[in-house]
Structure 1
């Protein structure tokens, strides 16, 4: 019994540490219905590849931290985020829950990269856009296209062309 209690307390401590390791960079929008669930959904569904803090460098994956908000620059690049295969085909079937996860990712991890006045994703928007999921074959070209738009039209830094800061071109 004592061993079970000690193990339970240790697990609770690790959960607490895990939450402490997930501070958002920017303020989260009020549109997120359950910020703690959105944070844990990000950790479970996205953090394994993109990193719990939104940085998986030097993995060959786009860095989210301080950068992903630039994709809210145009309606097309905004839709691109929802159409990404791992989002569009997410096991999270509830569109509001998925919108909350993406809002956590964009506003929390993207922080200062979110354009002023950008609106949070809605359940209706997620339901509409996830029907048009991109194929993995088109991801690299699509990302490059929207990065160029963000640089030219919205003032995103040219370093966005790289998957993560410090990557060798």
Structure 2
């Protein structure tokens, strides 16, 4: 029997192989090569959001093909930084910005609007100082997503999450 942590690590590494395929070094064919942002996503987010951004839709938000929509409005952009688990992540501002950029632009698979700017460490520092701890999170998310649907043409299935739809 494989120890549980070892089995989890193996499953996660196999799952990320698809994400890392485009970044694989020809000298390590077949082995996933992760950049630091991908590694941090895997370690800090992949357990719930899925190693490739695909999670059970009503447990936590699916990120693959969707996360970039949040960059369409200032409120959406702030929302993804202010989510408590993001705002309080044990990463410095620059590393957190890199993870957010990986999520929005890579896992987001073209869902970010044309011309969307990547997050910077300075921007993340300013936004994460105000985590969303004083509002009902699901209601706030629903409001942000409805605005994305109305103003940006985001798909309605972006609402599907923990009864928020």
TM tier relative to shorter chain:
0.7 to 0.9
Equivalent residue runs for 1:54-73 within 5 Å: 54-73=53-72
C-alpha distance in structure 2 between counterparts of 1:131 and 1:49, whole Å: 24
Q: Secondary structure at the match of 1:121?
A: coil
In the TM superposition, residue 17 of structure 1 has moved relative to its aligned partner by 4.2
Contact 2:49 2:61 in 1 (8 A): yes
Runs of 4+ residues over 2 Å off in structure 1 = 14-19, 21-25
Contact 1:24 1:109 in 2 (8 A): no
In the TM superposition, residue 76 of structure 1 has moved relative to its aligned partner by 1.4
Q: Secondary structure at the match of 1:66?
A: coil
Task: Give the one of 93, 100, 103 matched to 2:98.
Answer: 100
TM-score where L is the length of structure 1: 0.76
Equivalent residue runs for 1:117-136 within 5 Å: 117-135=115-133
1:142 maps to 2:140: yes
In the TM superposition, residue 21 of structure 1 has moved relative to its aligned partner by 3.6
In the TM superposition, residue 22 of structure 1 has moved relative to its aligned partner by 2.6
TM-score where L is the length of structure 2: 0.78
In the TM superposition, residue 70 of structure 1 has moved relative to its aligned partner by 0.7
Kindly tell me the number of residue pairs found equivalent between the two proteins.
Answer: 146
In the TM superposition, residue 136 of structure 1 has moved relative to its aligned partner by 7.9
- Gap change, CA 1:141 and 1:120, over 3 Å in 2: same
Q: Secondary structure at the match of 2:56?
A: coil
Unpaired segments ≥5 residues, structure 2? 1-9, 23-33
Let me know the Cα RMSD of the aligned residues.
2.7
Q: Which has the higher contact order (CA 8 A, sep 6+)?
A: 1
Unpaired segments ≥5 residues, structure 1? 1-13, 26-34
In the TM superposition, residue 135 of structure 1 has moved relative to its aligned partner by 1.7
* Comparing 152-161 and 117-126, the one that deviates more: 152-161
